Structures are given as structure tokens and as C-alpha cells.
């Protein structure tokens, strides 16, 4: 029998429900339980694929080609479990299937309503996930904050859930903020009390509270929260801000959150093994050498726009025992500033995916700088296309080369719309999405990194490298290092006369894990480390020569 954990949040948004849910999943996984997670998003978009990073942050792509919430990235990184379309449900997708059913006549004779039709559809999404595999636990996280109009149908569905499967099989975990008020010199529990009150008005009594707090508080506060919120004192946990999100499973473990969950859900006790996670944290803490990576994009001011990229870079750092300092560089600044000054001290340049023309020329300057100065370069999706445009213009002499995404009348469309995209008119879920297999040249940095000549990676794009330019690229020193199995689409390019200059049309960042960095990120950071050591050695030589 699958057990269900429902995670809700109150007081404010951005409490880290996704990370808390992932950390819990990580602990239960270490106890040997088969866990998966599901995210419910209360917006009307069918998926986040059409939303701007200003609205939503990164769009995370699964193997089966779903465009999903970035929390699914945390779920995969903390558990290693593969997510799919079924793991992300939005209000838009729920309403759209209910309305389709109504049009088909499935409810003939009935008035279709939020209760029971929408709530039944929500519950059926949870049951459908449970039917896919014999999970011991499903953790469902409800986006938004208790009290929002949007999330009411989800909370109502959860209120009904215990009546369908038994209260003993459900656990409600509520995250709240316990703020520290400087002027009073103390933490305050009232917002948490009000949030739990709002949840109870809907009919949900939380079993466990996770209190997000900047400053640790003492036991008297815990007892107070427990009493006012009607929760056992042993079930009130502190979610203190941590310097590193990967420490959160161990923070919860120290407080025995896993044991309380197992007891409350009457799950069997089995031997647990946290050693892989403990080793990870030890390794992170032991690193002393620094490496500086420039991430050049147009959404660098947003916390979440390149989430998986930043995480994957860190994973590469962990596996190379270095601390990575990520320098976020606004590509538009490169267009007006001094590229040499801005990128001068970096050990590697990464250009992530992106859409639209803004900031493109700055990215091209960054790619040129990395190529000419022999600084390790990693171009992902748009970053690969940028590398190709730069090479076409500055090495192949193809003046005005561009992608037709940015210049429809370019004389040299190095990057052009995929043939399969030409007839497509709708925007939602219509890109080339999800896992496709790539075959690599045996003598390529990519194949060496993977230790294999074939790999399946996740995609999200409409444009591709124009095959007409393959020959000139090969002749001038940009190798077509990877293609689709039918050799029709270019998947990887590599500059030959360079230690490590690689662009890939896919998104390796989605498959990187803290306990196992993605091979391309591992190699990119290894090269950056080499670059840093080389630079240091050169400076020493210069100093000795002067001395
Ligand atoms: N805009 C480019 C395309 O659609 C790149 C997409 C991306 O970087 N994800 O092909």
C-alpha cells in the first residue's frame, strides 16, 4: 500500500517547499523506500513552457519531454528518481482535461463543478502516478501558499483524500515561516499559528510542521508552536537556513524527521544508509581550491532562471574537489563594455539556453573571447548555436552569419528552424522536446567525457545547425562531434585547436546530480581547474623571471 505525504506552505512563498520535500524524499530513499514526488501548480497555464523566466524561473525538461516546474529538478537531484509528465500537474491541465471530458459527453446529464469534478480529477492524477509503479511513498507538494484562492481546489482534494484511502496512509506536512523580529529580539510564532488556522478551516490538520527560520530557537518556542497549532511537540521541526541546500537532508535527519514520518505512517523499520549523502557533504566541505566560471546570460539577475545550470556547475566542482565561484555576466553588458576586462579572470565560460534576440551579440563576443584565449567553453543549446554563429563569422569569414531566429534575412543562416517545426503554429509543448540519442565521434572530448560513443540527452529547441555548413566548419576546425543516429541533426560541435571548446544542442544540466556530476560538467570544470593551475604556474614563472 502506497503512503502519501502532502506538503503545503503558509505565511509566505519561497519557503523552500520543493527542497524540503526533496530532502524528505532523500531520507526515505536512504531508508530503502521507493519514493517519488509530484508537484501541483495552481496556475492556469497547461505547463510552464510558455512562461517567461521573469514569471517562472527555469523550465525543467524530463526524459519524456514534459516542460515542468523547476522543483522537479530538485526532486531528481536529491533522489536520482526520474520524473515524467505525470509528476507535474497544473490547474490548467486539470481544467483542460475536465472540459475535454465534458465536451466528449463523459458527464452527460450532470452539472460539471469544482467539487467533485475538478477535485476528482486532481485525486485521479495522484492515483495515476501511484499506479505507474509500486511506490512506498508519494510526496505531493502543493504550490502556492495556504490562503490563496488558486490553490483551494487542490487543498479540498487533499482534504478528501484520507476518506478514500484511510487517514493512517496520509501525512500532512506544513511549512511555515517563524520570523526573527530584530526590534523585539525574538522569533514570532503568530504567523505560523494563523497559517495552520487557515489550513484547519479548510479541514486539514497538519501532522508535522517545518518551521523555516533564520535563527535557531529554543524548546519553549517549539512547545508554544505545538500547542497553538495542535501538533505533537516531537513533530515540530526547525528548518534553519543552511549555507548549502544539500545539507538539508542531514539537518532533518539530526532532528529525526525521518523517524517521525516512518512512525506516523506506520511504515516498516528497515536499515538506513546515509553514507553517500554524508560523503557528499564531507567532500563539499573539504574543497579548498577555487575556480571561477562565467555564466553569460540575460536572466542572470534572477535567482531561478538557470537553476539546473548553476547546480550542475557545482556538481562538476564537487567531483573535481574545487569550490566554484559562479560569476553571473549580463550578456548585454558585454555589448557595451570591455570584454577582456569583464571576462579577464575567469577559468571557464558557459553560455546557457535561451530564446529571442536580446543580448545575443554579447554572447557571441563571449564565445569569441573563450575561443581565441583558449579558455574552456561550454555552450548549451543556444550556447552551441552562439558558438556556431561566432565561428562562421570570425573563422569561416561568413559575414552576417546568424540564426534565423534573430535575423530572418541573414545571408548565412548557420542556425535555422528545424524542418519538423516549419508547419507548427501552436506554441505550447511544440518544441523538439525530451530524450533523443546522439552518436559521438570516437575522437572527441564529448565521447571521452562520457566514456561512450552514444548517449541520450534531453532537448528543448526549435532551431538547429544548418547542414549546408557542415563541410566548411569541418575544414576550418570546428568538428561536428555528435549527431542524431540518422546523422540528420547536429548535436555537438567542438573546436579542434582548443583544449576544451564544446557546444551541445541538448541540455545536460537536467541529468546532473550532486552525487554524480554530469560527465560534460565534470570535464568542463576539470578543464577550468587545469586552466586555473596553468595560469597560476605562468604567473609564478613570470614572478621568478622578474625576481
Ligand atoms: N532558441 C533556440 C532554439 O529554439 C535555443 C533554445 C534553447 O536554448 N533551449 O533552438
Give one DSSP letter per residue of 407-459, joined into a string: -TT-SSEEEEE-GGGTT----TT-SEEEEEEEEE-TTSHHHHHHTSSEEEEEE
Pair (250, 151) in one structural domain: yes
Pair (272, 304) in one structural domain: no
Q: Which residues are catalytic?
A: 381, 507, 509
Domain closes at, from 279, 305, 331: 279
Q: Which is more confident, 483 or 13? A: 483
Contact of 525 with 324, CB cutoff 8 Å: yes
According to the model, what pLDDT value does residue 14 have? Answer: 83
According to the model, what pLDDT value does residue 496 have? Answer: 96
Pair (110, 204) in one structural domain: yes
Domain closes at, from 279, 296, 315: 279
Pair (267, 187) in one structural domain: yes
Paired with 494 in beta bridges are 479, 502
Q: What is the pLDDT of residues 30-71, one digit of tens each?
A: 999 999 999 999 999 999 999 998 888 999 999 999 999 999
Cell matching residue 191: 504567523
Q: What is the pLDDT of residues 427-442, one digit of tens each?
A: 999 999 999 999 999 9
- Mutating to test ligand 1, I would choose from 298, 460, 506, 510 the residue with most ligand atoms within 8 A of its C-beta, which is 460
- Mutating to test ligand 1, I would choose from 462, 506, 509 the residue with most ligand atoms within 8 A of its C-beta, which is 462
Cell matching residue 156: 479540498
Question: What is the distance in A from the centroid of ligand 1 to the CA of 284?
Answer: 33
* 453/443 Cα distance (integer angstroms): 9
Cα 74 from chain centre: 6
Q: How confident is the model at residue 259 (pLDDT cuts 50, 70, 90)?
A: very high
Query: From the alpha carbon of 418, which atom of ligand 1 is closest?
Result: 10
The length of the chain, given as a count of residues? 547
Q: How confident is the model at residue 9 (pLDDT cuts 50, 70, 90)?
A: very high
Pair (298, 269) in one structural domain: no
Q: Is the Cβ atom of 353 under 6 angstroms away from ligand 1? A: yes
Q: How confident is the model at residue 542 (pLDDT cuts 50, 70, 90)?
A: confident
499 secondary structure, DSSP code? S
What range defines the domain where residue 185 resides?
6-279
Question: What is the distance in A from the centroid of ligand 1 to the CA of 381?
Answer: 6
Contact of 172 with 146, CB cutoff 8 Å: no
Question: What is the distance in A from the centroid of ligand 1 to the CA of 373?
Answer: 26
Q: Is the Cβ atom of 460 under 6 angstroms away from ligand 1? A: yes
Overall number of domains in the chain: 2
Pair (26, 174) in one structural domain: yes
In a domain, 1, yes or no: no
pLDDT higher than 80, residue 538: no
* 29/257 Cα distance (integer angstroms): 13
Could you tell me the CATH number of the domain that includes residue 368?
A: 3.40.50.880
Query: From the alpha carbon of 464, which atom of ligand 1 is closest?
Result: 10
- Mutating to test ligand 1, I would choose from 463, 466, 491, 508 the residue with most ligand atoms within 8 A of its C-beta, which is 463
Pair (274, 292) in one structural domain: no
Paired with 176 in beta bridges are 211
In a domain, 545, yes or no: no
In a domain, 68, yes or no: yes
Q: Is the Cβ atom of 297 under 6 angstroms away from ligand 1? A: no
Give buried/exposed letters for 100-114 (b at 16+ CB in 10 A, else e). eeeeeeeeeeeeeee
In a domain, 542, yes or no: no
Question: What is the distance in A from the centroid of ligand 1 to the CA of 474?
Answer: 23
In a domain, 457, yes or no: yes
Sheet of 3-9: strand order equals: 88-90, 35-41, 137-142, 3-9, 170-177, 208-213, 236-240
Domain closes at, from 279, 303, 334: 279
Q: Residue 413 class from Cβ within 10 Å (0-12 exposed, 13-18 middle, 19+ buried)?
A: buried
Q: Is the Cβ atom of 406 under 6 angstroms away from ligand 1? A: no
Question: What is the distance in A from the centroid of ligand 1 to the CA of 380?
Answer: 9
Percent of the chain at pLDDT exceeding 90: 91
Cell matching residue 312: 550542475
Q: Which of helix, strand or coil describes residue 237?
A: strand
Q: Which of helix, strand or coil describes residue 78?
A: helix
In a domain, 547, yes or no: no
Cell matching residue 258: 525521518
Pair (434, 480) in one structural domain: yes
Q: What is the dihedral of CA 532, 534, 535, 538, to 10 degrees?
A: 160
Nearest alpha-carbon partner for 282 in 291, 290, 274: 274
Give buried/exposed letters for 264-285 (b at 16+ CB in 10 A, else e). bbeeeeeebebeebeebbeebe
According to the model, what pLDDT value does residue 365 have? Answer: 97
Contact of 313 with 63, CB cutoff 8 Å: no
Q: Is the Cβ atom of 461 under 6 angstroms away from ligand 1? A: yes
Contact of 354 with 406, CB cutoff 8 Å: no
Pair (218, 241) in one structural domain: yes
Q: Is the Cβ atom of 463 under 6 angstroms away from ligand 1? A: yes
* 270/519 Cα distance (integer angstroms): 33
* 56/472 Cα distance (integer angstroms): 40
Pair (267, 305) in one structural domain: no
Could you tell me the CATH number of the domain that includes residue 87?
A: 3.40.50.300
Q: What is the pLDDT of residues 91-144, one digit of tens each?
A: 999 999 999 999 999 999 999 999 999 999 999 999 999 999 999 999 999 999
Cα torsion 175, 176, 180, 186: sign: negative
Sorted by sequence, the CB contacts under 8 Å of residue 289 that are 6+ apart come out as: 321, 322, 323, 529, 532
Q: Is the Cβ atom of 462 under 6 angstroms away from ligand 1? A: yes
Taking CA atoms, 263 is separated from 32, 78, 137, 260, in Å, by 15, 23, 14, 5
Paired with 213 in beta bridges are 240
What does the angle CA 146 – CA 306 – CA 446 come to, to the nearest 5 degrees? 140
Question: What is the distance in A from the centroid of ligand 1 to the CA of 437?
Answer: 18
Q: How confident is the model at residue 497 (pLDDT cuts 50, 70, 90)?
A: very high
According to the model, what pLDDT value does residue 547 have? Answer: 66
Pair (298, 167) in one structural domain: no
In a domain, 544, yes or no: no
Pair (367, 435) in one structural domain: yes
Query: From the alpha carbon of 353, which atom of ligand 1 is closest?
Result: 8
In a domain, 274, yes or no: yes
Amino acid at each position: 500500500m502506497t503512503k502519501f505525504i502532502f506538503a503545503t506552505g503558509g505565511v509566505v512563498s519561497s519557503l523552500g517547499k520543493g527542497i524540503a520535500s526533496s530532502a524528505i524524499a532523500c531520507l526515505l530513499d536512504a531508508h530503502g523506500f521507493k519514493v517519488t514526488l509530484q508537484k501541483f501548480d495552481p496556475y492556469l497555464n497547461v505547463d510552464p513552457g510558455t512562461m517567461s523566466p521573469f514569471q517562472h524561473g527555469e523550465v525543467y525538461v524530463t526524459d519524456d519531454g514534459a516542460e515542468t516546474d523547476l522543483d522537479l529538478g530538485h526532486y531528481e537531484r536529491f533522489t536520482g528518481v526520474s520524473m515524467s509528465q505525470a509528476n507535474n500537474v497544473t490547474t490548467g491541465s486539470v481544467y483542460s482535461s475536465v472540459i475535454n471530458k465534458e465536451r466528449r459527453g463523459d458527464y452527460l446529464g450532470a452539472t460539471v463543478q469544482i467539487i467533485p469534478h475538478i477535485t476528482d480529477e486532481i485525486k485521479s492524477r495522484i492515483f495515476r502516478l501511484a499506479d505507474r509503479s509500486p511506490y512506498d511513498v508519494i510526496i505531493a507538494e502543493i504550490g502556492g501558499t495556504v490562503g490563496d484562492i488558486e490553490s483551494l481546489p487542490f487543498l479540498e482534494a487533499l482534504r478528501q483524500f484520507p476518506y478514500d484511502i484511510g487517514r493512517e496512509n496520509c501525512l500532512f506536512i506544513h511549512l511555515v515561516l517563524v520570523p526573527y523580529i530584530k526590534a523585539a529580539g525574538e522569533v514570532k510564532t503568530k504567523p505560523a499559528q494563523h497559517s495552520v488556522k487557515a489550513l484547519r478551516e479548510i479541514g486539514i490538520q497538519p501532522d508535522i510542521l517545518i518551521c523555516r527560520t533564520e535563527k535557531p530557537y529554543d524548546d519553549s518556542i517549539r512547545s508554544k508552536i505545538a500547542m497553538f497549532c495542535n501538533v505533537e511537540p516531537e513533530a515540530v521541526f526547525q528548518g534553519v537556513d543552511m549555507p548549502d541546500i544539500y545539507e538539508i537532508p542531514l539537518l532533518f535527519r539530526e532532528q529525526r524527521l525521518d523517524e517521525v514520518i516512518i512512525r506516523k505512517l506506520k511504515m516498516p523499520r528497515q536499515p538506513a544508509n546515509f553514507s553517500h549523502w554524508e560523503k557528499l557533504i564531507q567532500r563539499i566541505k573539504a574543497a579548498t581550491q577555487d575556480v571561477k566560471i562565467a555564466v553569460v546570460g540575460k536572466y542572470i539577475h534572477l535567482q531561478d532562471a538557470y537553476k539546473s545550470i548553476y547546480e550542475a556547475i557545482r556538481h562538476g566542482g564537487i567531483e573535481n574537489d574545487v569550490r566554484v565561484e559562479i560569476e553571473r555576466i549580463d550578456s548585454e553588458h558585454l555589448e557595451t563594455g570591455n570584454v577582456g576586462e569583464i571576462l579577464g579572470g575567469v577559468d571557464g565560460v558557459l553560455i546557457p539556453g535561451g530564446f529571442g534576440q536580446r543580448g545575443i551579440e554579447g554572447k557571441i563576443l563571449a564565445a569569441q573571447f573563450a575561443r581565441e584565449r583558449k579558455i574552456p567553453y561550454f555552450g548549451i543549446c543556444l550556447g552551441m548555436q552562439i558558438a556556431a554563429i561566432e565561428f562562421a563569422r570570425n573563422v569561416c569569414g561568413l559575414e552576417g552569419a546568424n540564426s534565423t531566429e534573430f535575423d530572418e534575412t541573414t545571408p548565412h543562416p548557420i542556425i535555422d528552424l528545424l524542418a519538423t517545426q516549419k508547419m507548427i503554429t501552436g506554441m505550447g509543448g511544440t518544441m523538439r522536446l525530451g530524450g533523443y540519442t546522439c552518436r559521438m565521434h570516437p575522437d572527441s572530448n564529448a565521447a571521452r567525457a562520457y566514456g561512450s560513443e552514444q548517449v541520450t540527452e534531453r532537448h528543448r529547441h526549435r532551431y538547429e545547425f544548418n547542414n549546408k555548413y557542415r563541410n566548411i566548419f569541418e575544414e576550418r576546425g570546428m568538428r561536428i562531434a555528435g549527431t542524431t543516429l540518422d546523422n540528420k541533426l547536429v548535436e555537438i560541435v567542438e573546436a579542434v585547436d582548443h583544449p576544451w571548446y564544446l557546444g551541445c544542442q541538448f541540455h545536460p544540466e537536467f541529468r546532473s546530480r550532486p552525487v554524480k556530476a554530469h560527465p560534460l560538467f565534470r570535464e568542463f570544470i576539470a578543464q577550468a581547474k587545469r586552466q586555473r593551475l596553468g595560469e597560476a604556474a605562468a604567473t609564478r614563472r613570470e614572478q621568478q623571471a622578474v625576481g
